[in-house]
């Protein structure tokens, strides 16, 4: 499979929605709408950055990636996309990858919530950890997959409070995971709530 998926789709929508672009991967059956003036980061750029990690676990996970791309109002680097530091601008990250046999057996809603941050552990803590606050937690059932959308605040490695809107869905046969991750400073999220919610609600998984 080519590093840059030929099936990746970023095309202008019809005139009635000209303020957006349609981003996603036709082969994987995953889509989202992104503001038209935002900049994109290709799968090739992300893959080349991730390939710098030479350990077997990282290489195995990279090999399982089917599609990924990222978007932001201004130019971003792969390091910014994949870092746990709070970005100074919103970053939208789309990722599709195959699950291992162990992961397929482990899949649950809590497993999906804990993909990046230990949300379930923080929820049971007696006092807030890293500024964690759960804003919303919703089941997301679609034609090709089902999972959860978790929206929460947490302090990044730099101590800045960020808002994370994480949608993680697994295909009906549990072979594939679809992720939409939106991250930005909490203050930006509050001021641009309508725009960012529109992106998260546009996340569509029809499946391969």
pLDDT in tens, the chain (208 residues): 333 433 444 443 433 445 788 888 899 999 999 999 999 998 999 998 888 877 777 777 778 889 999 999 999 999 999 988 899 999 999 999 999 999 999 999 999 999 999 999 999 988 888 889 999 999 999 999 999 999 999 998 788 999 999 999 999 999 999 999 999 999 999 999 999 999 999 999 998 7
Q: What is the DSSP string of 37-58?
A: T-EEE-HHHHHHHHTT--SHHH
Q: Has residue 3 been placed in a domain?
A: no
Total domains in the fold of the chain: 1
User: Facing residues of 10 across strands?
Assistant: 23
Residue 139 CB neighbours (<10 A)? 9
Model confidence, pTM: 0.87
Q: Has residue 2 been placed in a domain?
A: no
Q: Has residue 67 been placed in a domain?
A: yes
CATH of the domain at 92: 3.40.1000.10
Residue 200 structural domain: 8-205
Q: Contact, 169 vs 145, CB < 8 A? A: yes
Helices and strands, counts by H and E, the chain: 8, 11
What SS3 state is found at 199? Answer: helix
Q: Has residue 108 been placed in a domain?
A: yes
């Amino acid at each position: 499979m080519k590093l840059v998926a030929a099936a990746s789709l970023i095309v202008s929508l019809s005139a009635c929605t000209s303020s957006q672009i349609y981003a996603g991967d036709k082969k994987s059956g995953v889509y989202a709408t992104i503001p038209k003036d935002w900049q994109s980061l290709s799968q090739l750029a992300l893959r080349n950055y991730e390939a710098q990690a030479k350990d077997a676990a990282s290489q195995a996970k990279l090999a399982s990636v089917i599609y990924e791309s990222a978007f932001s109002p201004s130019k971003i680097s792969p390091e910014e996309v994949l870092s746990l530091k709070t970005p100074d601008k919103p970053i939208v990250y789309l990722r599709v990858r195959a699950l291992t046999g162990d992961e397929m057996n482990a899949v649950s809603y809590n497993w999906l919530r804990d993909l990046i941050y230990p949300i379930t552990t923080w929820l049971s803590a007696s006092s807030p950890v890293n500024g964690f606050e759960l804003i919303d937690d919703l089941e997301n059932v679609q034609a090709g997959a089902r999972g959860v959308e978790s929206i929460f605040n947490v302090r990044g490695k730099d101590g800045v409070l960020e808002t994370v809107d994480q949608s993680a869905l697994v295909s009906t046969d549990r072979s594939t995971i679809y992720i939409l991750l939106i991250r930005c400073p909490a203050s930006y999220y509050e001021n641009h709530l309508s725009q960012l919610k529109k992106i998260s609600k546009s996340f569509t998984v029809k499946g391969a």
